[in-house]
Amino acid sequence: MRGMLSVYNAQAVRISDCPTLSVEAFSEVLVREVPGRSRLVALLAAPWPDGSMHLLAVLAGLADDSLSLLAAPVGSQYSSLTPAVTQAHWFEREIAEVWGIQPLGHPWLKPIRFQASAAGNPGPAIGITDFFSMQGEEVHEVAVGPVHAGVIEPGHFRFQCHGETVHHLEISLGYQHRGVERALRSGPDRRTQHYIETLAGDTSIGHASAWCRAMEQLAGTRVSPRAMAIRGIAAELERLANHIGDLGALAGDVGYLPTLSFCGRIRGDALNMTALICGNRFGRGLLMPGGVAQDIDGELAHTLLGRLDALESDTRGAVELMFRAPSVLSRFEGVGTVSAAAARDIGLVGPAARASGLEIDVRQNFPYGIYRFAYIPVCTGAGGDCFARAHVRWMEVQRSIEFLREQLRQLPGGVLQQPMGNLPPDRLAVSLSEGWRGEIVHVAMTDSRGMYRLYKVIDPSFHNWFGLACALRNQQISDFPLCNKSFNLSYCGHDL
Amino acid sequence: MPIAAIIQVLLALLLAPLLPGVINRVKAFFAGRCGPPLLQPYYDILKLLRKGAVYSRTTSWVFRAGPVLGLAAAMVSLTVLPLGGTPAALAFHGDLLLFAYLLGLMRFVTMTAALDTGSAFEGMGASREAWFAMLAEPALLLGLAAMAVHTGSLSLSGMLDGLALADIRGPGAPLLLLVAVAFTIVLLTENARIPVDDPNTHLELTMIHEVMVLDHGGVDFGFIQYAACLKLWALAALLTGVLLPPPGGWPPANMALGVALILAVAVMVGVIESVMARLKLVRVPQLLVAASVLSALALALVLR
């Protein structure tokens, strides 16, 4: 695209090579591109080598699958993009909260994490903000959380209801904020990997993959095909475990017990396969910059293939039982619908976006690692409802199993680890990977010493929480748990 | 008052907590799990009875009276129900109305206690309970009316005399079948079972019965749990004791058969919960209206 720097996934570039426009021109480009021609992958404020703050936008071209960078110096305020570019909505709130850069005219400028600003000003008391409210005789407000009945993460939900119908849901997060991005800024050091692998604990491989490739590209290290294949296997096992667990939990939320019980067990089987490879059920410590820590030898591959066969037939039995039960289908269909247009406007990613019919999948749009050689078809649905989100998961489970089988049968050769050098100064790399929830974006910028100037993480939950709020419009409040589960978003991945 | 009538009330008081235990084991069997011990509901209730209770400052005596009155109503309702062909301890003209409204009283005190907390969740639950109970009541009363006309008795125990074994194969069969289906739906609704409510969920927003008792704890909650077991027993006894003709034999054997039939109802509830998902909340009224239609049809059949 004209006036922008085109990069490939995780490519390291000099920060000074990034084209810089005035904020007005920058806004013009974004308004022109998003959402019709491009998707806003990231919008962030970053400290530039000259000491000023810049807005940095990462755009994904919808037609040509290109990745483009664009920057603009910014003062303490600028004219908000959100009125014209809905996808910028959450990003601008974050920028205002962290860096104190005010987007003038932002229609919904509230804290998203209630965190302290980069300058050290303490944030507002958590959960205290002016929630939207409805007035009327029979209108009532239901507040849920931050402490929930189940063993889940904390978050606050405000429903504006009329009888059983939800007119508006406002989601207030931040209870899991740990300041991990700030902590990462001291790196890379020995703590970095642990921070990365727990950005969202159920997506250890997804985040580690994005981080490793950013590090390797910055340092100019090439990973062997064998290491790439093992990373791919770990990533797809992670997807399997989580998708199967989600399908079971969806069945549980409508009170359909057989699938709940079986999928709960099968999820454990998938996690145990990861544990066979590296000793940890979530794959912690398996991926490292330069390659992988553990090999899959012939015997292990044989064992994994055997377990995969058992897992496939068990999952098929449990899931098809659910999709054949009319009572389950009547609960899933037409509930929590997000139209394709709405999904595009708010910038949904992952299975939630694919369920609305958008063909967004980093493995296909910006192939990386093993996915450049092994093709996984994108699974899309049509309805955008709970059924579509469940069915997309089931299709992805099947595609992942095919991929795993193919890879385990013919693992390529190569050394496991390549030596890693130091990071060069003043570089920028935008690394994308497809976690099981969707697109994971890591933006790594180095300073003059080759340490992180900025390490920005965008978990798919960051895009999708607002999608959940939209899905609830005019739905029954009793269907909220089902809708919530069909998105199954991460609180800590959002709160960081 | 005959000894047998007293024994059957004692049996109900003693064995009622077994029913949720049976249901849970059936569900566990279908799910491929071992499931909790059969006697787990007893352990739970005994544990709760040993605990203290915490009361919110916003609640009044209404909140505390709810569990006690609810348990009392459930206990009294057992005295008018026959079991295995044995007439109930109390039998008089119109005792079927007493039974229906003892259930109503139990619901009323639970709902007022829930509203007394002032919590959004509990208000929502009470509203749902009132909505569904209002729709379930015609099914119960029309069904009882059909039985009353058919047997010529306004007493639950008296209905037994009007039923004969011939009825099951004879002209009474369609009537009994219709009322049995209607009563089964009423049983599932009144006891907060799938497909109407999900007794296992931890999600407040979807609950009906459970969400109304969220603020109760300790002894109060033990009372609520026990009263729920008794209510399940009572409706199962209504389903098996009034609709099935008396076996006519040695009284202890009859009573054992009556208990076995009630346990069979628990198995049936477990099977229903294992093979289907819960209905969407807005679809529940359709189910309840269908139950009322079945009962009305039964009444029309006998009045013909």
pLDDT in tens, A84-94: 999 999 999 99
So what's the pLDDT on residue B168?
Answer: 67
Contacts of B194 in chain A (CB under 8 A): 255
pLDDT of A34-50, one tens digit each? Answer: 888 899 999 999 999 88
What single letter denotes the amino acid at residue B23? I
How many CB pairs below 8 Å do chains A and B form together?
89
Instruction: Identify the three-state secondary structure at position A60.
Output: strand
Helix (H) or strand (E) holding B174: helix B173-190
Q: For chain B, how many structural domains are there in total?
A: 1
Alpha-carbon gap, residue B249 to B237, rounded angstroms: 19
So what's the pLDDT on residue B166?
Answer: 58
Q: CA dist A483 to A116, A352, A453, A477, Å?
A: 31, 11, 39, 10
What the block records as the tokens of A421 is: 């050098």
Over 60: is that where the pLDDT of A51 sits? yes
Mutate to test the interface with A, among B205, B275, B287 (most CBs of A within 10 A): B205
Q: Assign A124 a pLDDT band (cuts: 50, 70, 90).
A: confident
So what's the pLDDT on residue A473?
Answer: 92
Over 70: is that where the pLDDT of A329 sits? yes
CATH topology of domain A5-104: Beta Polymerase; domain 2 (3.30.460)
Alpha-carbon gap, residue A315 to A247, rounded angstroms: 10
Kindly report the nearest CA distance between residue B69 and chain A, in angstroms. 28
pTM of the model: 0.90
CB A124 within 8 A of CB A114: yes
Q: Where in chain A is the domain with CATH 3.30.460.80?
A: 5-104
**Out of B203, B205, B273, whose CB is closest to A257?**
B273
Answer yes or no: do B120 and A141 touch at CB < 8 A.
yes
Q: Which domain holds residue B54?
A: 3-303
* pLDDT of chain B, 304 residues: tens digit per residue: 578 888 889 999 999 999 999 999 999 998 888 889 999 999 999 999 999 988 989 999 999 999 999 999 999 999 998 887 788 888 899 999 999 999 999 999 999 999 999 888 888 899 999 999 999 999 999 999 998 998 888 988 888 777 766 566 777 788 889 999 999 999 999 998 988 888 888 788 888 888 899 899 999 999 999 999 999 999 999 998 777 777 777 878 888 888 999 999 999 999 999 888 888 888 899 999 999 999 999 999 988 8
Radius of gyration of chain A (CA): 22
Q: What is the dihedral of CA A74, A77, A82, A84, to 10 degrees?
A: -80
pLDDT of B190-244, one tens digit each? Answer: 998 988 888 888 788 888 888 899 899 999 999 999 999 999 999 999 998 777 7
- β-pair partners for A287: A292
Residue of A nearest to B274 (CA): A257
Alpha-carbon gap, residue A8 to B304, rounded angstroms: 81
Answer yes or no: do B279 and A327 touch at CB < 8 A.
yes
Kindly report the nearest CA distance between residue A80 and chain B, in angstroms. 36
Contacts of A253 in chain B (CB under 8 A): 201, 203, 206
Answer yes or no: do B274 and A257 touch at CB < 8 A.
yes
Kindly report the nearest CA distance between residue B9 and chain A, in angstroms. 33
Task: Please provide the size of chain A in residues.
Answer: 496
So what's the pLDDT on residue B219?
Answer: 94
**In this structure, are strands A77-79 and A102-104 parallel, antiparallel, or unpaired?**
parallel
Alpha-carbon gap, residue B80 to B77, rounded angstroms: 6
**Out of B203, B273, B274, whose CB is closest to A481?**
B203
Mean pLDDT of chain A: 90
Answer yes or no: do B198 and A327 touch at CB < 8 A.
no
Comparing CA positions, the residue from A475, A161, A169, A146 lying closest to residue B120 is A161
Cα–chain-centroid distance for residue A10?
A: 16
Percent of chain A with pLDDT over 90: 63
Over 60: is that where the pLDDT of A1 sits? no
So what's the pLDDT on residue B176?
Answer: 87
Chain B within 8 Å of A141 (Cβ-Cβ)? yes
User: Could you tell me which residue, B165 or A312, shows the higher pLDDT?
Assistant: A312
Alpha-carbon gap, residue A181 to A12, rounded angstroms: 20
Q: Output the 3-class SS for B79-100.
A: CCCCECCECCCCCCCCHHHHHH
pLDDT of A73-121, one tens digit each? Answer: 998 999 999 999 999 999 999 999 888 899 999 998 888 888 887 777 7
Kindly report the nearest CA distance between residue A162 and chain B, in angstroms. 11
CB A66 within 8 A of CB A6: yes
Answer yes or no: do B277 and A140 touch at CB < 8 A.
no
Q: What is the interface pTM, i.e. ipTM, of the complex?
A: 0.85
pLDDT of A141-156, one tens digit each? Answer: 888 878 887 788 899 9
**Out of B195, B198, B204, whose CB is closest to A327?**
B195
Kindly report the nearest CA distance between residue B66 and chain A, in angstroms. 23
Q: Hey, how many other C-beta atoms are within 10 angstroms of the C-beta on A288?
A: 17
Comparing CA positions, the residue from A341, A340, A342, A375 lying closest to residue A361 is A375
Return the CATH number of A180-495, one of 3.40.440.10, 1.10.645.10, 3.10.105.10, 3.40.309.10: 1.10.645.10
pLDDT of B177-193, one tens digit each? Answer: 999 999 999 999 999 89
So what's the pLDDT on residue A126?
Answer: 84
pLDDT of A390-445, one tens digit each? Answer: 999 999 999 999 999 999 999 998 889 999 888 899 999 999 999 999 999 999 99
Chain B within 8 Å of A149 (Cβ-Cβ)? yes
Q: State the DSSP string of A7-39.
A: E-TT-EEEGGGS-B--HHHHHHHHHHHTTTTEE
Chain B within 8 Å of A260 (Cβ-Cβ)? yes
So what's the pLDDT on residue A257?
Answer: 86
B60's CB contacts (< 8 A; 6+ apart) are B116
Alpha-carbon gap, residue B88 to B301, rounded angstroms: 28
Chain B within 8 Å of A118 (Cβ-Cβ)? no
Q: CA dist B128 to B206, B211, B285, Å?
A: 10, 10, 11
Place of tokens 């294992």: B274
Chain B within 8 Å of A480 (Cβ-Cβ)? yes
Q: Output the 3-class SS for A144-194.
A: ECCCCCCCCCCCEEEEEEECCEEEEEEEECCCCCCCHHHHHCCCCCCCHHH
